[in-house]
A and B are shown apart, each in its own frame.
Chain A
Amino acid sequence: MFKSYPALAMDRSDQASSRDRHDKRADMLFHLVVKGCALLVLIALLGAAFSMLWGGREAFATFGWKFLWSSDWDAVQRKFGALVPIYGTLVTALIAMIIAVPVSFGIALFLTEIAPVWLRTPVAAAIELLAGIPSIIYGMWGLFVFVPFMAEHVDPWLDENLGALPITGPLFQGAPIGLGMLTAGIVLGIMVIPFVASIMREVFLTVPSEIKESSYAIGSTTWEVVWDVVLPYTRSAVIGGIFLGLGRALGETMAVTFVLGNAHLLSASLLEPGNSIAATIANEFTEADSPLYLSSLIALGFLLFAVTFIVLAVARLMLMRLAKRAGENRQ
């Protein structure tokens, strides 16, 4: 009637071991599934790179390295080169960063050191929310509001006052139509500001308050604390944040497509319409009437991918350096 003690123990261990086996199998299965999903992320990036290289192979094979520095873009004669879009991408991104970096730094400074405490959270939240507005909205605003504004007020003034200068003059000569590199660069800059400012603000917040307080305690002004303590401490991450912004500016499509003018012109003037890699692809993709044309567009996409990959990788490495140090401090 009663089981002897050893028998009971054996019973239990039997049960336990069958459950153990089941659990072990389930554990291994679960591990495998999550690992597979994680590897999918890796495959996605490799797949993206490879598929564009594959899609652009016809263009690369036909034009070779000349694709990079030829300014031809002729759908009729089937001659394509990436110089004009590359130039437009770099110039608009450069203008954007010239505007966005100092302004974002100012915003981050204001939100971490200057603003009254009650104001910091709501303004930071507003800026972060605005960073999420889709780029097509920026593009529409650019086309319908900002382009006319530039054409009426800014372009004529630039042409009149700066166009005659000896060296920088050619940058600002041209018909005041509002569309063009300068407008696109400014719209991009406005778009990138909330993005870079939020990163810089977060980075500044990682500076241990002991360090800042020590500096204040020996009589430093706010500016001295920021310039001599906060900035050196966060330098790599600040650069990382700027590079993230740059990556965004280089690859941004919709905001630029609306205001760049879609013209395959290599012009020194920032007031002339131009083209960027992303805008060229977006504008012409559905019109590409020959395989070589389509292949050239995808080859452009590959170039964009390669450039943004490098920029974003640098950005992440820089950001990781600060994160590592912050982790060490905490321990």
Chain B
Amino acid sequence: MKAMLNLRRQITDYVAKIMATLATLFGLFWLVWILWTTVSKGLPALKWSLFTQMTPPPGSDGGLLNAFVGSFIMSGLAVLIATPIGIAAGTYLAEYARNTRLGETIRFVNDILLSAPSIIIGLFVYELMVRQMGHFSGIAGAVALSFIVLPVVVRTTDEMLQLVPSSMRESALALGVPQWKVVRQVLYRASLAGIVTGVLLAFARISGETAPLLFTALNNQYWTTSLGEPMANVPVVIFQYAMSPYEFWHALAWAGAFVVTMLVLVLGLVSRALLLRKKVTV
């Protein structure tokens, strides 16, 4: 009787272990398939002209130069806007509002913003800027992306500052250093690697964001660096070209997808290396 029971327990255990292993293989199988598709379709389409020519009209040759430049400008601007604000907000949460009700509320709202659907950010900035200006523009795209960068930076700054041992703060304060100098000259230095990681992660995240740009920057077939006009960007170009019936546009879309994926993976690896063993969950 007892032996039977033990046997049943062991069989259950074996089955569970096998199922869990299969689940892992199942999960990895799809992800490898998707990555393989991106590489096998993107790599052949990767030509030098991708980086030297403009997006083409149907039926002629071209590249994605204006889209890369537009994406770079808008992502860069978004990071420039959101990073100082995010670091400041994270500082407030970790240094001034730990265990206060306002701090908890803001942290909670930030967490929700962190995982809110990006399409909502797009509609928000559409109402906020595009409708007021009367037309789509690069600056609206940058602002939309900055709303996606913001919560990531807030979260990592907050977590990284909380990891700094209190003894460091106390030593500096005991020397008579004012708090804002403690924050700037002691705490930021101690948590620099973590904060930079947050910015990198945020950059990786916006480099493939499509939905918010669809309603703000839209697209532009031509070269522009003016933030007041609609601006080409890689994700929206990928979207439009992939949905089109033209083979050549599909190839360009795959090449763009390949570049974006590689960028995201490299940024992910770099930020992991930077983090070493510090733990952040974004």
A residues near B (Cβ < 8 Å) are 23-24, 26-27, 29-31, 33-42, 44-45, 47-48, 51-52, 54-55, 102-107, 109-111, 114-115, 123, 125-130, 132-141, 143-145, 190, 193-194, 197, 202, 221-224, 226-227, 244, 247-248, 250-254, 257-258, 278, 281-282, 285-286, 298, 301, 304-305, 308-309, 312-313, 315-316
Interface residues on chain B, number (Cβ under 8 Å): 93
Interface of B, secondary structure class, is helix
Give bound CA distance, A308 to B13, whole Å. Answer: 37
> Among the listed B127, B179, B204, which residue makes an inter-chain contact with A27, where contact means beta carbons less than 8 Å apart?
B179
Shortest 6 CB-CB distances between A and B: which pairs? A134-B208, A251-B117, A106-B23, A30-B180, A37-B88, A221-B13
- Please tell me if B281 contacts chain A, counting CB pairs below 8 Å: yes
A residues near B218, Cβ cutoff 8 Å: 286
- Closest-by-CB residue of B relative to A23 is B178
- Please tell me if B68 contacts chain A, counting CB pairs below 8 Å: no
Give bound CA distance, A197 to B218, whole Å. Answer: 34
A residues near B12, Cβ cutoff 8 Å: 221, 223
13 contacts between A and B (CB under 8 A): A55-B123, A104-B23, A127-B31, A132-B201, A133-B34, A134-B261, A137-B34, A139-B242, A144-B41, A251-B119, A285-B214, A305-B116, A308-B120
B residues near A134, Cβ cutoff 8 Å: 207-210, 235, 260-261, 264
Interface of A, secondary structure class, is helix
A residues near B20, Cβ cutoff 8 Å: 106-107, 109-110, 114
Give bound CA distance, A48 to B154, whole Å. Answer: 18
- Please tell me if B115 contacts chain A, counting CB pairs below 8 Å: yes
Is B178 a contact of A137 with CB atoms below 8 Å?
A: no
B residues near A23, Cβ cutoff 8 Å: 178, 181
Give bound CA distance, A45 to B151, whole Å. Answer: 11
Interface centre among B34, B37, B121 (most CB of A within 10 A): B34
Give bound CA distance, A312 to B235, whole Å. Answer: 26
Interface centre among A222, A254, A285 (most CB of B within 10 A): A254
- Please tell me if B190 contacts chain A, counting CB pairs below 8 Å: no
Is B113 a contact of A41 with CB atoms below 8 Å?
A: yes
Is A51 a contact of B112 with CB atoms below 8 Å?
A: no
- Closest-by-CB residue of B relative to A205 is B279
Give bound CA distance, A244 to B117, whole Å. Answer: 11
Is B208 a contact of A38 with CB atoms below 8 Å?
A: no
Is B242 a contact of A140 with CB atoms below 8 Å?
A: yes
Is B115 a contact of A253 with CB atoms below 8 Å?
A: no
> Among the listed A41, A141, A309, which residue makes an inter-chain contact with B154, where contact means beta carbons less than 8 Å apart?
A41
> Among the listed A52, A132, A202, A221, which residue makes an inter-chain contact with B127, where contact means beta carbons less than 8 Å apart?
A52
A residues near B238, Cβ cutoff 8 Å: 136, 140
Is B116 a contact of A51 with CB atoms below 8 Å?
A: no
Is B242 a contact of A105 with CB atoms below 8 Å?
A: no
Q: Chain B's nearest CB lies how many Å from the CB of A76? A: 23
Is A282 a contact of B119 with CB atoms below 8 Å?
A: yes
Is B88 a contact of A34 with CB atoms below 8 Å?
A: yes
Give bound CA distance, A34 to B209, whole Å. Answer: 28
Give bound CA distance, A315 to B115, whole Å. Answer: 10
> Among the listed A37, A130, A248, which residue makes an inter-chain contact with B92, where contact means beta carbons less than 8 Å apart?
A37
**Which of B52-60, B72-80, B164-172, B250-258 makes up part of the contact surface?**
B250-258
| A41-B24 contact, Cβ under 8 Å, with A51-B127, A251-B116, A308-B120 | no
Is B37 a contact of A144 with CB atoms below 8 Å?
A: yes
Is B116 a contact of A141 with CB atoms below 8 Å?
A: no
B residues near A52, Cβ cutoff 8 Å: 120, 123-124, 127
Is B127 a contact of A42 with CB atoms below 8 Å?
A: no
B residues near A282, Cβ cutoff 8 Å: 119, 211, 214
**Which of B43-51, B102-110, B191-199, B221-229 makes up part of the contact surface?**
B102-110
Give bound CA distance, A129 to B265, whole Å. Answer: 6
| A107-B24 contact, Cβ under 8 Å, with A34-B92, A129-B265 | yes
